[in-house]
């Protein structure tokens, strides 16, 4: 595999493979010196045209734990501010010898375009409302760690699905592994052609939450709301938020997941985030292992030989 642009590039087998490789890297991260030489001599560039805390930092940590060199790129202090085009920016970075580019952009399709413009392996770290494949991988890994398997689980995705690349990639990955997915959202925050997605849709949050293995809350993406799709955040929270009252009615052992950043008190009550079944920080930790696995798969020359 040369690039990871979509969950479709992996399929069920690829997702399972990444998860089992991630297990090895979780072990590496627990060592006193959490570093292996697997990607020594490789250069990984972080090309983030949109804000990020966890995705960017965890890719950086992942690359460093594999002994790759990391080049950071901050739009605010780059020549993009002087009007340099995306294509010229990519060509400039390529000329310095990048082996992988981790790309985030507010427009769908940019990572695929970058992959056509350079020889490096490209990882999609979130493109507009399109996809965020490594988030789906770390979510599958978290569910497997906690519940043993993704197959047969009922995963409820709650909230701003319309604007969510996390939901689009998650739905592909969860259903590929055999989970049942139900979307719960106000009609204005559902995507247009949702009938053609491999999911069920419900407006009845309280019934659905009583019968699920995972409730996956999504951030209300205020920066992507072009029009007034919500009455007010307070009203949204009352109708569609995972309040303490609702969370108490979840089946025992059901996980509360969220990709972060959380609008505390809007999509999930702050108290619920502290419950033992809430996995927000665990997802972040697993993100490092999963991203190590992805970079390793894309960049390591001889995948048959043990490296650890
Ligand atoms: C998400 C993103 O940027 O797509 N965050 C993340 O990568 N963990 C979700 C979000 O911003 O709501």
Q: Are residues 126 and 247 in the same domain?
A: no
Q: CA 239 to CA 189: how far, in whole Å?
A: 13
Q: Are residues 80 and 160 in the same domain?
A: no
For the Cβ of 165 lying below 6 angstroms from any atom of ligand 1, the answer is yes
Q: Are residues 142 and 74 in the same domain?
A: no
- At residue 147, the pLDDT reads 98
* pTM of structure: 0.95
- At residue 73, the pLDDT reads 79
- At residue 303, the pLDDT reads 52
Q: Are residues 269 and 153 in the same domain?
A: yes
Radius of gyration (Cα) for the chain, nearest Å?
19
- Atom 12, ligand 1: residue with shortest CA distance: 219
Q: Are residues 103 and 241 in the same domain?
A: no
Low-confidence ranges of the chain (pLDDT < 70): 225-228, 302-308
226 in a domain, yes or no? yes
For the Cβ of 258 lying below 6 angstroms from any atom of ligand 1, the answer is no
- Atom 11, ligand 1: residue with shortest CA distance: 261
262 in a domain, yes or no? yes
68 in a domain, yes or no? yes
51 in a domain, yes or no? yes
Q: Are residues 93 and 105 in the same domain?
A: yes
**Backbone φ, ψ for residue 45 (5° rounding):** -110, 135
For the Cβ of 259 lying below 6 angstroms from any atom of ligand 1, the answer is yes
307 in a domain, yes or no? no
- At residue 233, the pLDDT reads 87
308 in a domain, yes or no? no
Q: Are residues 86 and 188 in the same domain?
A: no
Domain with 165, as residue range(s), is: 133-279
306 in a domain, yes or no? no
Point out the ligand 1 atom lying closest to the alpha carbon of residue 164: 4
CATH code, domain carrying 243: 3.40.50.1370
275 in a domain, yes or no? yes
Q: Are residues 75 and 202 in the same domain?
A: no
Q: Are residues 141 and 242 in the same domain?
A: yes
The beta-strand segments (E) located in the chain are 43-48, 69-71, 100-105, 121-127, 154-158, 180-184, 200-202, 214-217, 255-257
Domains identified in the chain, total number: 2
Q: Are residues 35 and 51 in the same domain?
A: yes
**Backbone φ, ψ for residue 261 (5° rounding):** -70, 145
Inter-residue contact 50 to 105 (CB < 8 Å):
yes
């Amino acid at each position: 595999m040369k690039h990871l642009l979509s969950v479709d590039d992996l399929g069920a087998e690829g997702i399972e493979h990444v998860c089992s490789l991630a297990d090895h890297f979780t072990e590496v991260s627990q060592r006193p010196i959490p570093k292996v030489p697997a990607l020594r001599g490789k250069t990984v560039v972080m090309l983030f045209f949109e804000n990020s805390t966890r995705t960017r930092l965890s890719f950086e940590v992942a690359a460093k734990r594999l002994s790759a060199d990391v080049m950071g790129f901050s739009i605010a202090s780059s020549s993009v501010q002087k009007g340099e085009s995306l294509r010229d920016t990519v060509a400039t970075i390529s000329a310095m010898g990048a082996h992988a580019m981790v790309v985030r952009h507010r427009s769908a399709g940019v990572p695929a375009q970058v992959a056509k413009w350079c020889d490096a392996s490209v990882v999609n770290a979130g493109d507009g409302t399109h996809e965020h494949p490594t988030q789906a991988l770390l979510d599958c890994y978290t569910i497997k760690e906690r519940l043993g398997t993704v197959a047969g689980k009922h995963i409820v995705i709650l909230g701003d699905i319309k604007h969510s690349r996390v939901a689009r990639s998650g739905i592909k990955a969860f259903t590929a592994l055999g989970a049942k997915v139900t979307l719960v959202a106000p009609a204005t925050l559902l995507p247009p052609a949702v009938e053609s997605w491999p999911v069920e849709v419900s407006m009845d949050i309280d019934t659905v939450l009583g019968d699920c293995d995972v409730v996956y809350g999504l951030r209300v993406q205020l920066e992507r709301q072009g029009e007034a799709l919500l009455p007010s955040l307070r009203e949204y929270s009352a109708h569609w938020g995972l309040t303490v009252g609702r969370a108490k009615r979840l089946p025992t052992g059901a996980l509360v997941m969220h990709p972060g950043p959380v609008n505390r008190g809007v999509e999930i009550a702050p108290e619920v985030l502290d419950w033992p079944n809430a996995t927000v920080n665990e997802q972040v930790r697993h993100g490092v292992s999963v991203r190590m696995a992805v970079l390793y798969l894309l960049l390591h020359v001889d995948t048959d030989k043990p490296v650890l």
